[in-house]
Amino acid sequence: MLKGSTGATIVAVLMVALVALAILVPGEQTSEQTADAPVAAANEGALPGNGGAFSALQTNEVRNTVREYILENPQVIVEALESVQTQRQQTEGRRRQNAVTARADQLFKSRSDPSVGSADASVTIVEFFDYQCPYCRRMAQQLAKLNEEDPDLRIVYKEFPVFGPASTLAARAAVGAMRQGKYEEFHLALMGVRGAPSERTIFRVAERIGLDVGRLRADMNSATPTRLFQRNRQLAQELGIRGTPAFVIGDQVIPGAIDIGRLRALIAEQRAG
């Protein structure tokens, strides 16, 4: 399905083609037409560089020529759209890379965010996630597997609750669990919960893994989680992250779920780079 921006691009391409052909095929003008050029320009519109305005007949001929060309060569529209899309992706990629560089400390070195692995690891993966995101749940197991098999890898978890109150409640509890040194265990347990995490479910999980529930209640209701979420939302906005999951590896921002094979390849690229 073509989106609005794509439709606008098609219109722009057609207009450029029309103007280009109009300039290349100006047609001849009589002295009478030249004398009436100001009136014609007001009615038809003058094109720069063609010595005056087109007559209605000439304009119609140009339009027919453009139409025939497009019908005979429809691939030019696809090529134009692909070129525009490529340019947009390249521009967005450069913007994101610049944002990663500018916010490197906040991304990779913040002590406020939970993490697993050595602070001196050669590669760090940053994940923005939500506890109700089904793709995040799938990625949780893959990241845990990578953490087990790669002792030189660090994973930073950016709590990014975007699916409403249940997500925020779960994220608050996870930040509270970090204060008791059980973040990873609690995080994986919450990711295994089916459906929206309720307060009852959250505290049941907390008891099962040995958290002090009274302390957890106090920590999750403090101002600490709120400040953390605000920082992460601002950071996500600067990086162009609009959903979950999203990853930052090196200077790359990777939106969406990716398989473990690609993660391994990206880690290897970072070490080789």
Q: Are residues 68 and 109 in the same domain?
A: no
pLDDT digits (tens, 9 = 90+) for 154-182: 999 999 999 999 999 999 999 999 999 99
Q: Is residue 86 part of a domain?
A: no
Q: What is the pLDDT of residue 50?
A: 46
Q: Is residue 132 part of a domain?
A: yes
Q: Are residues 66 and 111 in the same domain?
A: no
Q: Is residue 185 part of a domain?
A: yes
Q: What is the mean pLDDT of residues 58-79?
A: 81
Q: Are residues 116 and 237 in the same domain?
A: yes
Q: Are residues 131 and 262 in the same domain?
A: yes
Q: Are residues 156 and 266 in the same domain?
A: yes
Q: Are residues 111 and 55 in the same domain?
A: no
Q: Is residue 90 part of a domain?
A: no
Which of 55, 73, 91 is the endpoint of a domain?
73
Q: What is the pLDDT of residue 60?
A: 84
Q: Is residue 135 part of a domain?
A: yes
Q: Are residues 42 and 168 in the same domain?
A: no
Q: Are residues 108 and 225 in the same domain?
A: yes
Q: Is residue 163 part of a domain?
A: yes
Q: What is the mean pLDDT of residues 201-217?
A: 96
Domain that holds residue 261: 104-272
Which of 34, 57, 73 is the endpoint of a domain?
73
SS3 category, 46? strand
pLDDT digits (tens, 9 = 90+) for 5-52: 444 455 455 555 544 444 444 444 443 444 444 444 444 444 444 445
Q: Are residues 149 and 19 in the same domain?
A: no
Q: What is the mean pLDDT of residues 214-234?
A: 96
pLDDT for residue 134 is more than 90? yes
Between 243 and 55, name the one with better pLDDT. Answer: 243
Which of 54, 73, 92 is the endpoint of a domain?
73
**CATH code, domain with 208:** 3.40.30.10
Q: Are residues 11 and 141 in the same domain?
A: no
Q: What is the pLDDT of residue 79?
A: 79
Q: What is the pLDDT of residue 46?
A: 45
Q: Is residue 114 part of a domain?
A: yes
Reported confidence tier of residue 273, pLDDT bands at 50, 70, 90: confident
Domain count, the chain: 2
Q: What is the pLDDT of residue 14?
A: 54
Q: Are residues 52 and 108 in the same domain?
A: no
